[in-house]
């Protein structure tokens, strides 16, 4: 196989960067908030890093994610923060507004954009690595087509517009798969080192990726066992396969990166406490709900069907019905026609069975590593169809599929540009006086920016009809996204009743009264979007915004 890189892949990477950078400032500036659920704001990142690093061995840990992604974001912030410090614009950091900045809104905007630029780089790297896997496992045409499908998949484009960890997490997993494929055909230590670094960063970004990584070293050991010299006795072959120079170098790299990315040297007790927390231990100083994680070899036919249905819903949303059919045919094609498909299907199946099934709800971002594998399989089928010269139809069909995939990616950018929250902001600026009291019950993530008004977030215990009549706000803003957040609270321990949310009846009565206009508030305006090609399964995308005004 020639080592020359197909020039078409550079065009695909440019398309990916264009799709990911258009409307990159979506929803900004917005202080430390974002329109993307679970995004890490600049102040959150700086707080995590300060509490993790500043006091030695404090035992503190961030309950939600490992430190890999916050540390990577902090590194991207460092040059800009250094310039602000030198120029006197950030000399005395503080936990309250203006946080030590002389121009806080501008500084937070720049930091948020830096974080998004990191994610753009992660997605572009993922596209390039997808090409590398396709070229090595199959051929160049497969690599180019797989890279195109991944570059135009709307979830990847969306997460490039955020500071969520999912783009980085996906990149490290795909990099580990690429390095394992290279290591399987090489005796050099370099691919093993890259595999160790990528695997360590993946689990240091989100531990959920352990299952995807698990088959890779096992398959490398089997491969090394078969390639070992026949002069060695059988036991020595196995020992050589497990403990050769490549595996030693990869393991050392993984341990070093794990130590750095999890701040083990400066805060070893925090690292150990997080491991205990993930295993189910409860700590008095950690006020967080217990995540719904539970593994069983078999959870019953009803539950297993629920997981498969959720996976189908998310994957079909990622690709659309036409491309979904293509990639599923590709999975069957690779499983039955190509031994090399084992390198793709084994990690994907392990990720589904050992990781996704442990969660009570499979969301779209959890399925992105599986979608990259599916794209590679679909590309292999399309590449063989493209090579058929007996008829013009296969090439036309492949070109049509690629065009449809691009159109879906372009529509994602259109939805970001015409976000219903922009429409609501424009209407409110025209129709509601500045400084008016606006009441809301959901996270700012799902709502228009209310900075020019006196905006009040009302806690759950005060969301009652009587409370609303006492407060008498000038307007109330509701979002269709995460609507149960208005009427429900998180169950601190999901095992009690096996439910994630617990209803608050007074809040439910208030919401019903508002929607039916039974209170002295009328629905003044509604703003929504109607996708043409996409069926979004991302909560932060395309919410309907309802603005209610108090009757005069």
Q: pLDDT tens-digit profile of 371-406?
A: 999 999 999 999 999 888 778 888 999 999 999 999
pLDDT of residue 390: 76
pLDDT at 228 over 70: no
* For range 258-284, the mean pLDDT: 89
- Is residue 2 very low, low, confident or very high in pLDDT (cuts 50, 70, 90)? very low
C-alpha 295, offset from chain centre: 22
* For range 310-323, the mean pLDDT: 97
pLDDT at 290 over 70: no
pLDDT of residue 283: 79
pLDDT at 496 over 90: no
- Is residue 186 very low, low, confident or very high in pLDDT (cuts 50, 70, 90)? confident
- Is residue 1 very low, low, confident or very high in pLDDT (cuts 50, 70, 90)? very low
What DSSP line would sit under 510-543, residue for residue?
HHHHHHTT-SSEEEEEEE----SS-----TTSS-
Short-list 121, 31, 30, 32, CA closest to 75: 121
Q: What ranges do the domains of the chain cover?
A: 27-283+302-413, 420-550
Other Cβ atoms less than 10 A from the Cβ of 328: the count is 18
Pairing state of beta strands 437-440 and 475-479? parallel
pLDDT in tens, 70-125: 999 999 999 999 999 999 999 888 888 899 999 999 999 999 999 999 999 999 99
pLDDT of residue 96: 87
Share of the chain above pLDDT 90, in %: 76
pLDDT in tens, 232-267: 566 666 666 677 888 899 999 999 999 999 999 999
pLDDT in tens, 126-177: 999 999 999 999 999 999 999 999 999 999 999 999 999 999 999 999 999 9
Check if the beta carbon of residue 167 is closer than 8 Å to that of residue 160. Answer: yes
Mean pLDDT, all residues of the chain = 91
Check if the beta carbon of residue 149 is closer than 8 Å to that of residue 119. Answer: no
* For range 480-509, the mean pLDDT: 86
Q: Is the dihedral of CA 547, 164, 532, 407 positive or negative?
A: positive
pLDDT in tens, 297-309: 898 899 999 999 9
33 Cβ contact list (under 8 Å, min separation 6): 41, 444, 445
CA distance 403 to 396: 10
pLDDT at 189 over 70: yes
* For range 22-49, the mean pLDDT: 95
pLDDT in tens, 407-462: 999 999 999 999 999 999 999 999 999 999 999 999 999 999 998 999 999 999 99
């Amino acid at each position: 196989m020639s080592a020359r890189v197909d020039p078409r892949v550079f065009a695909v990477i440019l398309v990916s960067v264009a799709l990911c950078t258009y409307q990159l400032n979506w929803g900004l500036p917005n202080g430390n908030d974002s329109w993307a659920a679970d995004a890490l704001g600049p102040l959150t990142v700086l707080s995590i890093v300060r509490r993790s690093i500043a006091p030695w061995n404090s035992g503190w840990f961030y309950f939600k994610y490992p430190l890999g992604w916050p540390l990577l974001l902090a590194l991207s912030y460092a040059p800009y923060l250094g310039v602000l410090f030198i120029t006197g614009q950030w000399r005395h950091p503080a936990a309250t507004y203006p946080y030590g900045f002389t121009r806080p809104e501008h500084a937070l905007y720049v930091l948020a954009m830096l974080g998004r630029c990191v994610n753009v780089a992660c997605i572009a790297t993922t596209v390039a690595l997808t090409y590398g896997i396709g070229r090595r496992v199959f051929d160049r045409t497969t690599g180019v087509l797989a890279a195109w499908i991944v570059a135009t998949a709307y979830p990847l484009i969306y997460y490039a517009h955020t500071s969520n960890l999912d783009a980085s997490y996906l990149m490290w997993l795909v990099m580990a798969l690429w390095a394992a494929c290279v290591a399987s055909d090489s005796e050099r230590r370099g691919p093993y080192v890259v595999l160790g670094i990528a695997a360590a960063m993946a689990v240091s970004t989100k531990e959920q990726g352990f299952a995807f990584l698990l088959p890779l070293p096992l398959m490398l050991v089997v491969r090394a066992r078969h390639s070992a010299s026949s002069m060695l006795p059988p036991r020595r072959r196995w020992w050589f396969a497990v403990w050769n120079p490549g595996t030693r170098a990869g393991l050392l790299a993984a341990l070093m990166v794990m130590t750095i990315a999890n701040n083990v040297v400066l805060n070893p007790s925090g690292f150990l406490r997080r491991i205990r927390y993930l295993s189910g231990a409860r700590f008095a100083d950690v006020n967080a709900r217990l995540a719904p994680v539970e593994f069983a070899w078999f959870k019953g036919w009803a539950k297993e069907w629920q997981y498969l249905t959720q996976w189908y819903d998310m994957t079909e949303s990622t690709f659309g019905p036409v491309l979904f059919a293509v990639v599923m045919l590709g999975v069957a094609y690779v499983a039955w026609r190509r031994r090399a498909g084992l390198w793709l299907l084994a990690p994907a199946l392990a990720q589904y069975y050992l990781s996704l099934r442990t969660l009570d709800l499979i969301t779209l971002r959890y399925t992105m590593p599986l979608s990259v594998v599916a794209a590679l399989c679909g590309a292999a089928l399309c590449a063989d169809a493209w090579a058929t010269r007996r008829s013009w139809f296969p090439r036309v069909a492949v070109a049509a599929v690629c065009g449809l995939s691009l159109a879906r990616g372009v529509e994602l950018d259109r939805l970001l540009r015409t976000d219903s929250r922009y429409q609501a902001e424009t209407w409110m600026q025209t129709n509601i006086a500045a400084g008016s009291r606006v009441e809301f019950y959901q996270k700012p993530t799902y709502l228009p920016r209310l900075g020019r008004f006196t905006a009040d977030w009302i806690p759950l215990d005060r969301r009652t009809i009587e409370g609303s009549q006492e407060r008498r706000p000038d307007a109330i803003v509701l979002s269709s996204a995460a609507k149960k957040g208005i009427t429900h609270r998180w169950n601190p321990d999901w095992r009690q009743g096996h439910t994630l949310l617990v209803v608050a009846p007074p809040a439910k009565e208030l919401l019903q009264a508002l929607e039916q206009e039974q209170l002295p508030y009328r629905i003044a305006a509604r703003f929504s979007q109607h996708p043409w090609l996409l069926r979004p399964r991302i909560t932060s995308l395309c919410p309907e915004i309802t603005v209610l005004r108090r009757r005069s």
